[in-house]
Amino acid sequence: MSKVRSARRVSAFADSVFGEMTRLANLHGAVNLSQGFPDFEAPAAIKDAACAAISRDQNQYAPPYGTRELCEAIAGDFSRRHGVPIVADEQVTVCCGSTEAMMAVMLSCLDPGDEVIVFEPFYENYGPDAILSGATPKFVRLREPDWAFDPAELGAAFSNRTRAIVINSPNNPTGKVFSRDELQVIAELCQRWDAIAISDEIYEHILFDGRAHIPIASLPGMAERTVTTSGLSKTFSVTGWRVGWAIAPASLTGGIRKIHDFLTVAAPTPFQDAGAVALTMGDEVYAALAAGYQAKRDLLMGILERQGFTCYQPGGAYYLMADVRPFGFASDAEFAHYLIKDIGVATIPGSSFYIDPKTAPPTVRFCFSKQDETLREAGRRLAKLPCSAEL
């Protein structure tokens, strides 16, 4: 018998749900509202910049921590918008997507035995990232309908084993935007327990109903203990380019850069050149993005409410969680599979964002980063959905 097998760490977590739901959507010809990526064009100016960079032969390794132009653009953009001074040379690391940035941050900031607090429901990578770093994730619930956390429960989760907390605002999957008061509670706990705030701000520009983005790094005393991750993917509709970054105090940047260099060397050079162009396009681009997504949120919410879903209105990001109890299925996963196969619409079962799916409220997550016509087609298909009384 062969002893060939995967390492034990691989069995500590499941396969990613996103690629699997997209695979099933393609298999069954379903409208894919599962994995979060746009089905519309990226801005012409940045596509032209990427093509021009390739033609100029910007096709070899970039400097490991990012091209000078992109690092300066990231630092300048963050400083300008949030009044937090950032020194590009000392604080910015460009990675292959914010997914790699998060992995590099956890591998470089967490020791085996450390605990990292993660709000639940959570974007699925945070658990495996913490486990691969040897740390133990500790989950604190965000509770529907407004996905608030209980400050006492959060306070009780901190201890002298807590090395970090992960914040994701605007939040995937709930669309929750953390208020300044909530961020202040988190900031005080980080300071009291000497913990790092790891803030995933990939949806920073997708905010609705007049909300403003508040990075936790901008709260008093937090810049020195916050790592902010973000990227081009969601703001500029280029999820396949894999350009993200971490902004961190100099004391943490050395470690992040070291891990990043050994993981991937550098992010794709021509897309970094395009990123430097993207980040200097101006605030109108960000405003138009938010307004466009707000209209898509409203379109999808109208469709879903007409079909009998109870929707939790998102304040940001491009996902909508809907309660599926009216349809009478045994679990949200069962409902999601029925939706793909029998109705022709792919979603993500909400329970996949929980550590113990049995304790999750029965929801599915719809992605509305889609052309209006795609959302309308999903609506036409969902109109075939019987409510539980008819099932």
User: By the criterion CB under 6 A, which residues form the site for ligand GLN?
Assistant: 16, 18, 35-36, 172
**31's tokens:** 């409208």
CB of 172 to ligand GLN, least distance (A): 5
CB of 113 to ligand GLN, least distance (A): 28
Cβ closest to ligand GLN, residue 172 vs residue 174: 172
Cβ closest to ligand GLN, residue 172 vs residue 307: 172
Residue in the shown chain whose Cβ atom is closest to ligand GLN: 36
CB of 301 to ligand GLN, least distance (A): 18
Cβ closest to ligand GLN, residue 65 vs residue 203: 203
**HEC per residue, the chain:** CCCCCCCHHHHHCCCCHHHHHHHHHHHHCCEECCCCCCCCCCCHHHHHHHHHHHHCCCCCCCCCCCCHHHHHHHHHHHHHHHCCCCCHHHHEEEECHHHHHHHHHHHHHCCCCCEEEEEECCCCCHHHHHHHCCCEEEEEECECCCCECCHHHHHHHCCCCEEEEEEECCCCCCCCCCCHHHHHHHHHHHHHHCCEEEEECCCCCCECCCCCCCCHHHCCCCHHHEEEEEECCCCCCCCCCCCEEEECCHHHHHHHHHHHHHHHCCCCHHHHHHHHHHCCCCHHHHHHHHHHHHHHHHHHHHHHHHCCCEEECCCECCEEEEECHHHCCCCHHHHHHHHHHHHCEECEEHHHHCCCHHHCCCEEEEECCCCHHHHHHHHHHHCCCCCHHHC
CB of 167 to ligand GLN, least distance (A): 16
CB of 367 to ligand GLN, least distance (A): 6
Cβ closest to ligand GLN, residue 36 vs residue 127: 36
Cβ closest to ligand GLN, residue 35 vs residue 162: 35
CB of 36 to ligand GLN, least distance (A): 3
- The Cα diameter of the chain in Å comes to 63
Cβ closest to ligand GLN, residue 65 vs residue 293: 293
CB of 233 to ligand GLN, least distance (A): 8
CB of 178 to ligand GLN, least distance (A): 18
Cβ closest to ligand GLN, residue 164 vs residue 348: 348
Cβ closest to ligand GLN, residue 163 vs residue 205: 205
